[in-house]
């Protein structure tokens, strides 16, 4: 299939994205989630936060929707073999920019 003139120009002009950050905001009722976390803390004795819950949910979404669990290399989507979620967290004091990836 032959690409349109726009597509050919776009491919030659646009560079790959440098910032993979996605921003979103929406209201959500957290009472059930917070109650769940309290129960899990009591059962496991572990320090669990809303961040843990959100990351777990992201992993489960990728497991349930494998077509979203791909990488794009050389203009081709490649299916990932496993579901891995990494979170960048601040390890410094307030205002510091020390970041580390936590699994």
DSSP string covering the chain:
-PPPHHHHHHHHHPPPPS------------HHHHHHHHHHHHHH-----HHHHHHHHHHHHHHH-GGGSEEEETTEEEE-SS----EEEE-SSTT---EEEE-
- Cβ atoms of 22 and 58 within 8 Å: the answer is no
CA pair distance 27, 25, nearest whole angstrom:
7
Query: In the predicted model, what is the mean pLDDT of the chain?
Result: 81
| pLDDT value at 97 more than 70 | no
Task: Out of 68-77, 78-87, 91-100, give the one with best mean pLDDT.
Answer: 78-87
CA pair distance 43, 56, nearest whole angstrom:
18
pLDDT digits (tens, 9 = 90+) for 34-46: 999 999 999 999 9
Q: 97 or 62: whose pLDDT is higher?
A: 62
| pLDDT value at 2 more than 70 | yes
What's the pTM?
A: 0.60
């Amino acid at each position: 299939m032959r690409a349109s003139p726009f597509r050919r120009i776009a491919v030659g002009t646009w560079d790959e994205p440098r910032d993979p950050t996605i921003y979103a905001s929406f209201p959500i009722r957290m009472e059930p989630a917070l109650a769940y976390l309290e129960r899990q803390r009591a059962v496991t004795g572990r320090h669990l936060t809303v961040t843990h819950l959100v990351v777990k949910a992201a992993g489960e979404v990728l497991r349930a929707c494998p077509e979203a669990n791909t990488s794009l290399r050389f203009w081709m989507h490649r299916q990932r073999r496993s579901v891995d979620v990494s979170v960048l967290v601040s390890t410094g004091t307030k205002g510091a920019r020390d970041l580390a990836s936590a699994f």
